[in-house]
Amino acid sequence: MTRSTSILDEIVAAKKRELEAVRQQFPQESLLDAIPDETPPAFDTALRSDGLNIIAEVKYRSPSRGPFPCQLEPVEVARQYRDSGAVALSVLTEKTYFAGEPAYLKDIRREFSDLPLLRKDFLFEPYQVIESRAWGASAILAIVACVERSQLASLLSSAEEFQLGVLVEVHDPWELEIAIGEGASIIGVNNRNLNDFRIDLATSFDIARRLEGEDGYLLISESGLSERAQLLELRQAGFSGFLIGSHFMNNQKPGEVLRELLGGETGGN
């Protein structure tokens, strides 16, 4: 599949350059030594409730929208999310385009040992899987649009070795086929086109229809979600969880927005 040069290409290229520098500063052996003895909280377990399972995202800017109004400290954002009913958190660690930091993930893990945490970044290789485990992640993101098929296979294999879940993100049926072919079990459907940033919730419903009747998959809808009615309709279509960031971070009190969206439900109940 071919596509024109886009902001996605730019982000991926920048991340690969950054990775080379980071690898020199932090050799893989040092990361292995930093891996905690404790197994992180299971990401998939948090998504198996019958409720509206929200993965609330800690992010401070995006390429399409710039900085978000909420600039509270990451631990405070995480506390509001946890207290308001999020079953897991997604934490941006990409620095240049999303104003993320590895320290955000580390700090939140130190404060909340029992909260499943997804490392949200652009990952390509096992070194980054080891990074994620050392930093306290429960799961990593693997974006099919950003990796070769062999790289996806390697990420999945390494994540299993290091006891991490993998949210494999797709945008269309072609990417879904790749994800399933490589053994992905947690499928994230991004309603945002990563090339032009347009949002279309039909993307989620289309992928759900293609997996209708299939067992063994957890479906997560991502991007463009801001209304309870959307979540209820998507849950009816087969989605187990919803990754939401912008809607919450657009407010100075993201926890209150989450509580309103859940309509009184907490903890996935």
pLDDT of residue 3: 41
pLDDT of residue 196: 73
Number of Cβ atoms within 10 Å of the Cβ of 240: 21
Domain spans in the chain, listed from the N-terminal domain onward? 43-262
Output the average pLDDT for the chain.
93
Residues in a beta bridge with 67:
61
Q: Write down the CATH superfamily of domain 43-262.
A: Aldolase class I (3.20.20.70)
pLDDT of residue 264: 65
Q: What is the pTM of this model?
A: 0.94
pLDDT below 50 — which residues of the chain?
1-4, 267-269
Residue type, 72: L
Q: How far apart are CA 152 and CA 158, in angstroms?
A: 10
pLDDT of residue 269: 41
Residue 81 and residue 88 in contact, taking contact as beta carbons nearer than 8 Å: no
pLDDT of residue 201: 96
pLDDT tens track for 235-267: 999 999 999 999 999 999 999 999 999 986 554
Residue 127 and residue 156 in contact, taking contact as beta carbons nearer than 8 Å: no
Residue 84 and residue 258 in contact, taking contact as beta carbons nearer than 8 Å: yes
Could you give the residue numbers annotated as active site? Answer: 57, 59, 120, 169, 190, 222-223
Q: How far apart are CA 22 and CA 15, in angstroms?
A: 10
